[in-house]
């Protein structure tokens, strides 16, 4: 799925974006082992009016998962010829949220961005509240404490009246219930997991899907706030060849996607996060994208985790030529406009010279 238009963050954004890789090298000093109060294996999910465990596929626990020693996943979607396709793969609910050693640094960065640019990275319409509440309730009540019991656990609140989700990494307690407004809930969600979320509801006229809420701290060259209340096809108008190659198939796929089915893709377009010639500081950006439909509200949730890789890292893996070919490949395939759209004319020559040196 492509949600791209040409847009630039405020002046301080490139600095913050590059800080991600620097922050990840700091030693993460605190982590607490917790034992869920309801079970010795996985916390008992909390029943609410908006969601029940049986609405979702079962989540496989990772009882020995150590986030501090887990490297970020490596995705290398380098193709010598770029073709605009959906390129989706079937997957399971277990892959929806990936954790790694950068978790704490990224969460702190996300919270900083939400505080400094709240009207850019957060937005919602009242109509999206059932969908946002549904996802939040399931994530905090079932998914996170089940999948990652060494990071999150359900425990009694300080007053003992109702349970809370304890974030064992930050030491914070979160309400199991969503906030009064969808924006409030999205802000909490955005500071809890290192994924961006966009909620699309069926359009009122029955034609396509419309973006009604989001928390996006790391969008790829576009201002999500300008996309609110736009249909899927209108969001993608600036994307080269989208109307000819993907518009109809995307609308059909969204309409037919059933609850309980999870699909993923990697954004296969190489993009450097810097436009200057310092290749040591440049990053290759890859998005790990997920799509699924919520079982109760029937909303479509598009989520993505942003991964950054250094060019020296790519070269050390012996993939310098492959990435250089992929940069040239933006001119080939069924959507040659992507070479200009991704500004490869600005950074492509420098990147290729370094990768092939």
Residue 251 CA: distances (Å) to CA of 115, 185, 203, 213, 268:
34, 28, 11, 19, 21
d(CA 56, CA 146): 13
What value, to the nearest 5°, has the Cα angle with vertex 228 and ends 222 and 232?
A: 80
pLDDT at 270: 63
Task: Give the predicted TM-score (pTM) of the model.
Answer: 0.83
Whether residue 293 has pLDDT greater than 80: yes
Burial state string for 116-129 with b = 16 or more CB within 10 A and e = fewer than 16: ebeebbbbbbebbb
Q: Distance between CA atoms of 40 and 73, rounded to whole angstroms? A: 29
Give the separation between CA 178 and CA 192, rounded to whole angstroms.
13
User: Can you give the pLDDT at residue 123?
Assistant: 98
What pLDDT sits at residue 269?
A: 63
Specify whether the CB–CB gap between 280 and 312 falls below 8 A.
yes
* The pair of three-digit structure tokens given for residue 35, joined into one six-digit string: 């034992």
pLDDT tier at 68, thresholds 50, 70, 90: very high
CB-CB contact of 54 with 138 (8 Å) = no
pLDDT (0 to 100) of residue 14 = 36
**Domain-wise residue ranges, the chain:** 13-33+72-132+183-355
At residue 338, the pLDDT reads 87
Which helix (H) or strand (E) is 187 found in, with range?
A: helix 182-190
Least reliable range by pLDDT among 21-25, 60-64, 256-260, 287-291? 21-25
pLDDT tens sequence across 137-169: 999 999 999 999 999 999 988 777 789 999 999
**Rounded-to-integer distance, Cα 270 and Cα 9, Å:** 19
With left for phi above 0 and alpha for psi between -120 and 50, is residue 333 left, alpha or beta?
left
Q: Is 273 exposed, middle or buried (0-12, 13-18, 19+ CB in 10 A)?
A: buried
Q: Give the list of residues 6+ apart from residue 347 with CB closer than 8 angstroms, or none.
A: 272, 274, 275, 282
Residues in contact with 150: Cβ distance below 8 Å, sequence separation at least 6, in sequence order = 31, 33, 34, 63, 64, 65, 66, 67, 168
The residue among 334, 331, 353 whose CA lies nearest residue 342 is 331
Given a cut of 60, whether residue 239 has pLDDT beyond it is yes
What integer is the mean pLDDT of 272-287? 75
**pLDDT at residue 55 is higher than 90:** no
Q: Among 149-163, 192-206, 210-224, 268-282, where is mean pLDDT lowest?
A: 268-282
């Amino acid at each position: 799925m492509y949600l791209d238009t040409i847009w630039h963050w405020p002046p301080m954004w490139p600095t913050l974006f590059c800080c991600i890789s620097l922050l990840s090298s700091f030693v993460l000093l605190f982590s607490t082992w917790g034992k869920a109060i309801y079970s010795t294996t996985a916390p008992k999910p909390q029943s609410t009016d908006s969601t029940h465990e049986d609405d979702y596929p079962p989540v496989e626990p990772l009882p020995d998962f150590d986030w501090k020693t887990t490297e970020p996943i490596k995705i290398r979607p380098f193709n010598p010829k770029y073709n605009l396709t959906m390129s989706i793969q079937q997957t399971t609910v277990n892959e929806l949220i990936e954790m790694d050693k950068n978790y704490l640094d990224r969460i702190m960065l996300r919270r900083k961005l939400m505080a400094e640019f709240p009207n850019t990275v957060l937005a919602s319409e009242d109509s999206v509240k059932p969908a946002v509440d549904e996802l939040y309730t399931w994530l905090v009540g079932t998914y996170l404490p089940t999948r990652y019991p060494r990071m999150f656990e359900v425990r009694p609140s300080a007053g003992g009246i109702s349970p809370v989700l304890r974030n064992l990494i930050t030491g914070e307690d979160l309400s199991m219930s969503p906030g009064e407004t969808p924006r409030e809930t999205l802000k909490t969600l955005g500071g809890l997991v290192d994924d961006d979320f966009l909620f699309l509801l069926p359009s009122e006229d029955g034609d396509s899907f419309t973006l009604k809420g989001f928390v996006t701290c790391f969008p790829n060259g576009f201002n999500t706030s300008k996309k609110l209340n736009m249909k899927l096809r209108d969001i993608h108008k600036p994307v080269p060849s989208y109307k000819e190659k993907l518009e109809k198939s995307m609308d059909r796929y969204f309409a037919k996607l059933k609850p309980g089915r999870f699909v993923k893709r990697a954004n296969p377009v190489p993009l450097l996060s810097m436009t200057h010639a310092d290749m040591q500081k440049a990053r290759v950006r890859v998005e790990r994208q997920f799509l699924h439909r919520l079982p109760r509200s029937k909303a479509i949730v598009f989520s993505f985790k942003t991964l950054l890789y250094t060019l020296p890292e790519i070269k050390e893996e012996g993939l310098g030529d492959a990435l250089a070919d992929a940069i040239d490949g933006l001119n080939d395939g069924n959507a040659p406009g992507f070479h200009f759209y991704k500004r490869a004319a600005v950074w492509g020559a420098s990147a290729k010279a370094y990768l092939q040196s």
